[in-house]
A and B are shown apart, each in its own frame.
Chain A
Amino acid sequence: MASGPSGRLRQSAEALAIPVGALAAAMVVFGIAMAGLGRNPLEVYELIYRGAFASAFSWQNTLARAAPLILTALCVALPAQAGLMVIGGEGALVLGGLAAAVVGHLLVGVPPLGVKLAMALAGMLAGAAWIALAGALRQYRGVNETISSLLLGYIAIAVFNHFVEGPLRDPASLNKPSTTPIGDANMVGSLPGLDVHWGLGFGLVFCLVTYVLVKHTTYGFALRIVGGNARAARLAGLPVGAIALAACALGGAAAGLAGMVEVAAVHGSANASLIAGYGYAGILVAFIARQNPLAIVPVAVLVGGISASGGMLQRRLDLPDATVLVLQGIAFMLILASETVYGRLKIFRPERA
């Protein structure tokens, strides 16, 4: 059916057109809601565009938000290759951030590069362990990984709050409980020539590595066998549990790295600002990207841009800053609903003549 270049082209066109169509539908629905609030939808969209992409400053804001989204989206997309639907990226992110903050604080007298590497490693390990836990519950105890990862996310946030507000609280942080700052020297700076922090670079590299891993390595092939049919994977003698766990751990490491970036490039310490919903928005990104690691990058930029424009809507149109979350939510629902359209639109069907 999908053979030959024209078949593949048609498939790609379908994979592009359906999410774009769903996004357009979401814009219409959101526009109607805006009109109901007495705002001109076109003006709203113009402001979203200006807040997201119109100036160098808005681009910086957009890309800084896209960076953690890229990484948390990988926390969904990687386990998805193994057929697991993990939605607990938020938990991996906050624990990754906490671990990075602790390491950054503890390593006194170590050169900054060493501290940065140690923080990244600690963040990734913490995130990997957390999502691997959800994967292990699934593989060895049969617990639904979607539910367990979500609930583990709440536990992670509770653990995070406990340490940040309790044992690890910097006494100097009065209004906003935070861990001890990691120090300016240990902060991760900006990408050369850009005013965007290194998190974006990490995200891009992680996506590229994931893509190569899935498409071009034997591990990636085994992962797709496990995700496509675990029975066939067992017939082939593949260690199904270990392969799926590795995918969960890798995804968790991505989200944990996002937490490290938030600490080491943005906030300087672990505090409640980390719990910003990046983990959940990453689910949206992964779904729009249809779990494709390369497609995650542009989608994360788009979603990052929408959230970057929240402030603009608040200032200019007197809308609450959660308005953009409404747009995100509508988009997510319609993207999920559009999954049922695949293979049903005539123009994408191969002609059989």
Chain B
Amino acid sequence: MTSAGREPGVVTGPALDVEVVGMTKRFGALIALDDVSLRVAAGSFHALLGENGAGKSTLVKCLIGYSPPDAGQIVVGRREREIRSPHDAHALGIGMVYQHFALVPSMTVAENLVMARDDVPAVVRWRSERERLAAFMATMPFKLDLDRLVSRLAAGEKQKVEILKQLYLRRRFMILDEPTSVLTPAEADEVLETLRSMTRQRELTVLMITHKFREVMAFADTVSVLRRGKLAGEGRAEDLTSATLAEMMVGTRQIPQARMGRASHAGGATEPRLVVRDLVVEDDAGRRAVRGLTLAVRPGEILGIAGVSGNGQRELVEALIGQRRPRRGEIRVGGQPYRATRGEIRDHRARSLPEEPLRNACVPALSVAENMALRNFDRAPLASGPWLRRGAMREQARRWIADFKVQSQGGEAPISTLSGGNVQRAVLARELSEEVSILVAANPVFGLDFAAVAEIHDRILAVRNAGAAVLLVSEDLDELLELSDRLAVIFEGRLVHETLAARADIAVIGPCMAGHHGAASAA
């Protein structure tokens, strides 16, 4: 890396052309990538599609140098290169934006940009750095206050900082791993539009991992589809349809269909089963994240909560499932005060599907069978008196692993060795196998492939149809519109809009999510 040619912040030089040839990567017996070749032409916006475990992450990890491939070449700018570490990739101008932010929240935007350099000097001369940053920002299509703390930025802004960071570091080939999963549709469109215009001006080449066909159709020039480690198809986005893409992704496998109709008893006269009144919940920093929220969910209906992430959803869900104590207000279940103690959870048959299941709903070091016993280890048949019955625990796991098609090497493997989708299946098995009266679900399909999504949605609907009261908190509006009976919008810790899902109007919901609910909240 010569300092003169690679001064950060100066946008020069054309987009990079990157090609992988015969890329193979094995993890023991598992072939994660099997002789994959693909080319991302300079200045193109290339989408990489595939189900969970199809090899997308493995491919980009090889490209960025985190785990070099076992076989195959990487050709950058028509010259074969060896990328043994992220440092090598950076030196070639290849950068990556991760699904989860890699920013330091307690630092400002400017500090984050400077500190991301591979060659941060021992003493930073902030005057010249700031001048250079200002000059750089002037050339950027979107503006951000350099002096704001990253912790104060919304998710969409943070994602922009991540992208700015790559551009500032003069990365000419940018890999993005599901960059829009934490953004609102409008934010996602803005970010992707910016990237596309930069590729059009041949300043940048983009390789984006995504699950969302809509984004592929709207923004990508070319598409590659991976399936079980192999290249299953590729082409120009304009020549492809959602149906052909779906078929490339899953092959001829049957996709669970059977969408059930909406509950007819929604809006009926039944007493609400879950009632939340004037709830106030603080976040970790002691700020009020939920500010006097009121809601009610009746048996046999799904109340969907829409909203941009960071408007109190996480704290609301944590309060409802017992992970956070509310500051004020009340939660009542079946008319009685509810504090999510073990006895209340058992008596009311309350279940939950929190986001990030490995972090929120599992004990990573314990086995699949032990994790599946989290709800009922202290009851017959898994316990007799104070004694655990290991045999019954194993038997339950064996049954549920089969019922929910959890792919694991038996119930005794630590659950942390399972893939994300299979962790979620194991949690689903635990939460939904027994009778459920109340279900609180938060982004239950986040990061899962669409066959798994359909299955999980079906299971949630089945729980609703069996008479459970379901609260579904999601950042995916399509998911909410598909599943909910009623839909509410959360903004800054309150519900600002509520409607029957059948009558939901995107033109009203969208502005409410963004905080413009003055006109709509008459309802």
Contact = CB atoms under 8 A, between A and B. Distances in A.
A236 B388 contact: no
A4 B342 contact: no
Contacts of B378: 218, 221-222
A3 interface: yes
Given A216-B388, A228-B366, A352-B27, A235 B414 contact: no
A325 B362 CA distance: 41
B516 to A, nearest CB: 35
A234 B366 CA distance: 16
Contacts of B410: 3-4
Given A1-B413, A3-B412, A239-B341, 12 more contacts: A1-B414, A2-B414, A4-B410, A216-B387, A218-B387, A224-B366, A224-B370, A225-B374, A232-B360, A235-B361, A236-B375, A353-B28
A219 B385 CA distance: 11
Contacts of A233: 363
14 contacts: A2-B413, A4-B412, A218-B377, A218-B378, A218-B388, A224-B363, A232-B361, A232-B363, A234-B321, A234-B322, A235-B361, A235-B374, A236-B375, A352-B27
A263 to B, nearest CB: 33
A3 B413 contact: yes
Given A4-B410, A235-B354, A219 B386 contact: yes
A229 B28 contact: no
A237 B344 CA distance: 8
Interface in B433-466: none
Given A2-B414, A218-B377, A352-B27, A237 B343 contact: yes
B440 to A, nearest CB: 10
Interface in A224-246: 224-225, 228-229, 231-239
Interface of B: 27-30, 321-323, 340-346, 352, 354, 359-366, 370, 373-375, 377-378, 383, 386-388, 409-410, 412-414, 417
A8 B413 CA distance: 10
A351 B29 CA distance: 9
Contacts of B363: 224-225, 228-229, 232-233
B52 to A, nearest CB: 19
Interface residues of A, number: 28
Contacts of A239: 341-342
A235 B321 contact: yes
A228 B413 contact: no
Contacts of A232: 360-363, 374
Nearest to B410: A3
A351 B26 CA distance: 13
Contacts of A224: 363, 366, 370
B344 to A, nearest CB: 7
A117 B366 CA distance: 38
A4 B408 CA distance: 12
A264 B374 CA distance: 43
